[in-house]
Amino acid sequence: MGKYKEAPTGEDCTNVVKENTGLVREKYLNGFKLPLSLWEENLKVLGTQVEQWHKFQEDYINAVIEFYEKFPSWNGDSKATNSHFEYFTAFQKNYVSLVIGASDRFMKQTLNIIQKNVEHASSLFDSYPNLLRA
> What is the reported pLDDT for 128?
64
pLDDT at 37: 79
Angle at 44 between CA 40 and CA 59, to 5 degrees: 160
Residue 71's pLDDT is: 74
pLDDT value, residue 114:
79
Instruction: Note whether 43 and 103 are within 8 A (CB).
Output: yes
Full-prediction pTM beyond 0.75? no
CA atoms of 74 and 67, how far apart (whole Å): 10
**pLDDT of res. 63:** 85
* CA Rg value for the chain: 30
* pLDDT value of position 81: 65
Residues of the chain with pLDDT under 50: 1
